[in-house]
Amino acid sequence: MITKELILKQAKKKDMRLVYELRLSDMKIEKLENLEDLVKLREIDLSGNMLKEVEQLNCLKELRSLNLSSNAIVLLPPLKFPYLQKLDLSYNALGSMKNLSLFKVPAENVLSATRE
């Protein structure tokens, strides 16, 4: 479970609006929540968790780097990140990459998705 307290502790900040980078890897997270106040977040590492759905990331409009590797993502929903430069979807169970084009990330900055 992602709480505001956890976010502030991991980011070593006192205000969610001042968090630019967040590492939440290998924390057994199953659900994304409490992200809406991260208005300046540019980089998030959610690798090594148990995420199946990631639609809640849509509130992170300033993202430049998104690491979702080694999760349980089966379906990639349409996500809109106008500034995204790096995307890691490796080691998920993605059946289709059809929504990948919606990210508008240069191909060389996307790490391939593989099946577990």
Domains of the chain plus CATH, in order, are: 4-111 (3.80.10.10)
pLDDT tops 80 at residue 101: no
Report the pLDDT averaged over residues 30-59.
96
DSSP state of 31: S
pLDDT tops 50 at residue 3: yes
User: What pLDDT score does 107 carry?
Assistant: 58
Say how far apart CA 88 and CA 16 lie, in whole Å: 24
Question: Of 61, 77, 69, which is closest to residue 113 (Cα–Cα)?
Answer: 69
- Single pTM value for the model: 0.86
